[in-house]
Amino acid sequence: MAVCNVCGDLICEECVQKRIGDYAGKLFTIANCLKEECVAASGWAQVVNPDYQRLTNMDWSDSVDGKVLRTTGAGAVLMMVFELIFILGMLYIQFFTQWGLVRSNVPYFFIRGDAVVILGILGNLIAAILLQTALQVYIHERQLASGVMLLILLIVEVMLLLERGFFFNLRYYPYPYLVPVLLAAFGSASLLVFIGSAVAVAVGYEKRKQLREARKILGLASK
């Protein structure tokens, strides 16, 4: 016996139609009876292939998926906070310290502070894309691609940070703790993103292999 998820009636096994729905990348099963309105209301979900569902069950990854999401999400949020602090710090140096008054140390092109703002916006944009990508590691079908994309974005972010450090000549900034503090904050965020994305790649690869093997066993066309 089952309960129709549309009308709530009890239905026998012979009169039940099971469908599989996708919510935030996680699959769940819904049931409907064969009444016309119930079939139509659940038509957005695909009719279940029991054998394919059994072969592609990914409950084994629920625990690690949650940890990967929290790790990459935390790293991406920290990256955005770092970028905000970085741009505010560079603007402070530019406008409120003697170091910023020397044009050769904190260069600009048209108006004072423009380079700080432009590079800061670019860094925050990459961090925002990184955060959006980090949220995709929880979706089965996107986990592998999201993990790879996170690693690429992390490399771009590191290169941009090094470029900004040389551009603003921070190696010679007289305050001795500035660069170590910035590197420590950036390193912590980067480490979280790297660990999460590396695990996402490994788990995502196993999921893709599981889907491929299931289609092969059932003789389904590859997607």
Tell me the domain boundaries of the chain: 2-48, 60-218
pLDDT of amino acid 11: 87
Do 36 and 19 touch, CB atoms closer than 8 A? no
The residue type found at 205 is Y
Those residues whose C-beta lies under 8 Å from the C-beta of residue 75, and which sit 6 or more positions away, are 134, 189, 190, 191, 192, 193, 194, 195, 196
| CA dist list (Å): 21 to 1, 31, 50, 114 | 20, 10, 14, 49
pLDDT of amino acid 123: 92
pLDDT of amino acid 23: 65
pLDDT of amino acid 77: 94
pLDDT of amino acid 204: 94
Q: Give every residue of the chain whose pLDDT is below 70, as ranges.
A: 23-27, 102-105, 221-223
HEC string of 26-53 equals: EEEEEEECCCHHHHHHCCCCEECCHHHH
Q: How many CB atoms lie within 10 A of CB 94?
A: 21
Do 2 and 30 touch, CB atoms closer than 8 A? no
pLDDT of amino acid 104: 60
Q: Which two tokens stand for residue 62?
A: 């629920």
